[in-house]
Amino acid sequence: MPVSNQVRNQHLLWRAGFGPSAESIQELANASQGEIFKRLLKFSSKNPEYIDVANNAFDGLFKGLQEAGRIENLSKEQKQALRKQSREGIRNLNLRWIEEMVNGQAQLLEKMAFFWHGHFACRNLNMYFQQGLLDIIRKNALGNFGELLREVSKSAAMLAFLNNQQNRKQHPNENFAREVMELFTMGRGNYTEEDIREAARAFTGWGFTIGGEFVFRKQLHDNGVKTVLGRRGNFDGDDILDILLEHRQTARFIAGKIYKYFVNEELDEANLSWVSDRFYNSNYDIRKLMEDIFTSDWFYDPRNIGTRIKSPVELLVGMRRILPMELANEEMQLMFQKVLGQILFYPPNVAGWPGGKNWIDGSSLMVRLRIPGLIAENDEFNLKPKTDDDQQMGQMMREPDDPGPSMTRAPNTAGLRIEARVEWDVYLQNFSGVEKKDLIRSIAGILFQKTEVNDKTIMKYADINNRESFIRTATIKMMSMPEYQLC
């Protein structure tokens, strides 16, 4: 079956952003992919605004902490208040960023940032540090990979997460060097354990102040000669990053990961070599790499369309883009992230979210299929996510009957409702010229990237009383199908 122009445009919008919005549908039948991509680039060319969720209470506590010098100098109550505010902050950061993904015009930038958020996976309970890292990632999302790598590597969030504060001349800690090489640049199998040990020596002394500023602590740095990937010298951390970037394998590893994420989990050797060579030769220009991908013919090859399982965040954000809605109970978005297995700022480990079929098991799939119905019918949501002791979701979610300050329990969601009010008007306009008999196909054309829909089944479950409620109910039913999980 030939792929329609509309599907090709939707393919681009799903991969280079979070899917088509209700308003954008009208033009997708006729616009060219080139035009759409140009606009995506244009809207993503401005420096993104800093997302700042710190409130006065947190600022005050944090200032107190800076004056005290170290966290140990704070009183028990101060420490507790700081932790609590920090958790709140990360929760707000999550929701604020989701809003950008849903309503922001810089779709390509946020999608790229979302990719880097998984690539530079980091858990840190300090809200300021997380906020700073997110800013680095969004600012450099389409910039130069070398810069991005350097800024991330010098961020308090990552240095703390990978224990580089403990990496000292006398007691090297290899964690940071190992992950930089294994996960951030070259990938496994391209260096030796000896390379890691030597690189770790070069990173000694890299640390951060209590305020989150990078600092090089000279007295902790190992000034001896190191041998890393065949090069010898009195290297520091910056030198190691340069050496890693000089290796073509780094371009290949990053381009390969991007290809798998944005094009197809199955690598096509010819396409990958082409983009990764150009990525290397452009000195790691991310924007050019993405342009190479999204303007290539092979990106629109049918085998690359409709084959990607949406991540939980992509699924939820995509729903809100196509069906604009008001959420009285924003917290439900955290609940869905949690039961579906992708909470922003809480990756499962430093390797990020594995993605693909890993998202799907019997329970998670059934929740995915029920969400549209929950939104439309405002049914009760009765699942209980697991506790996460790093995250203390029980407190993050503000459970009313929390048994005590130090008990971390998963919130019981029994009786929680989404309380969403879908604003159907904009969406409905897309079908104004569509004949009744073509409605189901037309809806499927917007919601599904690939598949023929079985009209009869949908007819059975849609409300045929009037045109409007037919479109509404058929839409919700189709969003409750496995096909909608793919983009």
Partner 1 sequence: MDGNGMIDLQSEIRIMNIKRRTFLQTGTLASASMMLPGFMKALQRPNMVPPGNKVLVVLQFSGGNDGLNTVIPVRNDIYYKERPGLGIRREKALILSDEVGLNPSLPAFRDLYEDGSLGILNGVGYPNPDRSHFRSMDIWQSGSSGKEYVNTGWIGRYLDAQCNGCDKPTQAIEIDDVLSLALKGEKNKGLALRDPRRLYNSSQEKFFKDISETHKAGGDEVDYLYKTMADTLNSADYIFRQSRLHPSGASYPATQTGRSLKTIASLIFSDINTKVYYLSLGSFDTHINQQPQQQKLFEELNNALKVFVKDMKDNNRFQDLCMFTFSEFGRRVSQNASGGTDHGTANTMFFIGGGLKQKGILNGMPNLNDLIEDDLKYSVDFKNVYATVLKNWLNADDREILGNSFDYLNFL
Within 10 A of 118 (CB to CB), how many other CB atoms are there? 19
Rounded CA-CA distance 111/311 in Å is 12
Q: Looking at 39-47, 53-61, 111-119, 478-486, which segment touches partner 1 (CB under 8 A)? A: 478-486
- In the bound state with partner 1, the residue whose beta carbon lies nearer, of 19 and 306, is 306
Q: Is 71 helix (H, G, I), strand (E, B) or coil?
A: helix
Q: Which of 230, 362, 400, 415 binds partner 1 (CB under 8 A)?
A: 362
- Amino acid making up residue 286: I
366 binds partner 1, rule: CB under 8 A: yes
Rounded CA-CA distance 280/252 in Å is 8
Containing H/E element for 325?
strand 325-327
Rounded CA-CA distance 459/335 in Å is 32
- CB–CB of 272/255 below 8 Å? yes
Those residues with Cβ within 8 angstroms of residue 453's Cβ, 6 or more apart along the chain or in another chain: 440, 441, 444, 478, 483
How near is the Cβ of 79 to partner 1 at its closest, in Å?
Answer: 10
Q: Which of 15, 206, 477, 479 binds partner 1 (CB under 8 A)?
A: 477
Q: Which of 168, 169, 409, 467 binds partner 1 (CB under 8 A)?
A: 409
User: Closest Cα to residue 176, out of 195, 190, 161?
Assistant: 161
**Which residue shows structure tokens 């997302």?**
51
Q: Which of 306, 312, 372, 411 binds partner 1 (CB under 8 A)?
A: 306
Containing H/E element for 178?
helix 175-179
| Phi, psi values for residue 188, rounded to 5° | -60, 150
- In the bound state with partner 1, the residue whose beta carbon lies nearer, of 251 and 478, is 478
361 binds partner 1, rule: CB under 8 A: yes
Q: Which of 386, 401, 465, 466 binds partner 1 (CB under 8 A)?
A: 386
Can you say how many angstroms the Cα of residue 141 is from the centroid of all Cα atoms in its chain?
12
Q: Looking at 20-28, 57-65, 88-96, 475-483, which segment touches partner 1 (CB under 8 A)? A: 475-483
461 binds partner 1, rule: CB under 8 A: yes
- CB–CB of 328/419 below 8 Å? yes
- In the bound state with partner 1, the residue whose beta carbon lies nearer, of 309 and 371, is 309
The site map against partner 1 for 119-148 (x = CB under 8 A) is ----x-------------------------
210 binds partner 1, rule: CB under 8 A: no
- In the bound state with partner 1, the residue whose beta carbon lies nearer, of 76 and 218, is 76
User: Closest Cα to residue 448, out of 7, 5, 1, 3?
Assistant: 7
In the numeric block, which tokens belong to residue 137?
């990632």
- Amino acid making up residue 455: D
Q: Looking at 5-13, 240-248, 314-322, 400-408, which segment touches partner 1 (CB under 8 A)? A: 400-408
Q: Which of 173, 387, 442, 473 binds partner 1 (CB under 8 A)?
A: 387
- Helices 56-68, 76-103: inter-axial angle, 10-degree rounding: 130
408 binds partner 1, rule: CB under 8 A: yes
User: Closest Cα to residue 14, out of 256, 262, 254?
Assistant: 262
- In the bound state with partner 1, the residue whose beta carbon lies nearer, of 383 and 428, is 383
390 binds partner 1, rule: CB under 8 A: yes
Q: Which of 354, 377, 438, 459 binds partner 1 (CB under 8 A)?
A: 354
485 binds partner 1, rule: CB under 8 A: yes
Q: Looking at 61-69, 245-253, 313-321, 357-365, which segment touches partner 1 (CB under 8 A)? A: 357-365
267 binds partner 1, rule: CB under 8 A: no
Q: Which of 369, 426, 428, 434 binds partner 1 (CB under 8 A)?
A: 369
| Phi, psi values for residue 435, rounded to 5° | -70, 150
Please work out, in degrees rounded to the nearest 5, the angle formed at the alpha carbon of residue 485 by the alpha carbons of 479 and 486: 120
Residue 232: strand pairing partners = 227
454 binds partner 1, rule: CB under 8 A: yes
- In the bound state with partner 1, the residue whose beta carbon lies nearer, of 35 and 390, is 390
- In the bound state with partner 1, the residue whose beta carbon lies nearer, of 188 and 218, is 188
Four-CA torsion 259, 262, 268, 273, nearest 10 degrees: -30
User: Closest Cα to residue 313, out of 37, 152, 97, 475?
Assistant: 97
Rounded CA-CA distance 69/71 in Å is 7
486 binds partner 1, rule: CB under 8 A: yes
Distances (CA, A) of 167 to 123, 174, 203: 19, 7, 7
- In the bound state with partner 1, the residue whose beta carbon lies nearer, of 215 and 407, is 407
- In the bound state with partner 1, the residue whose beta carbon lies nearer, of 204 and 264, is 264
71 binds partner 1, rule: CB under 8 A: no
483 binds partner 1, rule: CB under 8 A: yes
How near is the Cβ of 390 to partner 1 at its closest, in Å?
Answer: 5
Rg of the Cα atoms in the chain: 24
Q: What is the DSSP letter of 464?
A: -
351 binds partner 1, rule: CB under 8 A: yes
- In the bound state with partner 1, the residue whose beta carbon lies nearer, of 290 and 393, is 393
96 binds partner 1, rule: CB under 8 A: no
- CB–CB of 444/366 below 8 Å? no
Number of chain residues interacting with partner 1 (CB under 8 A): 56
Site residues, partner 1 (CB under 8 A)? 76, 123, 188, 306-309, 338-339, 341, 346, 348-351, 354, 357-358, 360-366, 369-370, 382-390, 405-409, 450-452, 454, 456-457, 460-461, 477, 480-483, 485-486
